[in-house]
Structure 1
Amino acid sequence: SNDTWITTKVRSQLLTSDQVKSSNVKVTTENGEVFLLGLVTEREGKAAADIASRVSGVKRVTTAFTYIK
């Protein structure tokens, strides 16, 4: 499905980013909406959401991060 493709694409983009520790971020996609969860700094969270929003086919990005200071 397209959602699986989006999830894979977002994960690979996060892996190549030096702004995000991708191992801390869980990615799921439902009907083009990407959900990002995990334990991140605020800066990492913003970067991850930005990266996900640029992936083709993504309609919306919803974050449910736990922020570490």
Structure 2
Amino acid sequence: ASVGARGLVSSIEVLGHNAIGTVIALQTTTHNRYCFAICNLPEAEQSGEHAVTIDGVTWRWEGAFSRLQRA
């Protein structure tokens, strides 16, 4: 058993979603922010390139999920 173990994630925010994908942002206790995209399409369609536009920002990735560079 670990003693005093604490996770580094302070918050998870869903930035937006649609039929193509979901984009989330993870904020850490060390003030880092990481964005991820998750494909919402059927499994047979997840291997290609995807793009989701949320609040005027277009997020692009390839595959079922990806860490996004734009945060």
TM-score band by shorter chain is 0.3 to 0.5
The structure that has the greater radius of gyration is 2
TM-score, with normalisation over the residues of structure 1?
Answer: 0.33
TM-score, with normalisation over the residues of structure 2?
Answer: 0.32
Larger strand proportion of the pair: 2
- Relative contact order: is structure 1 or structure 2 higher (C-alpha 8 Å, sep ≥ 6)? 1
Larger helix proportion of the pair: 1
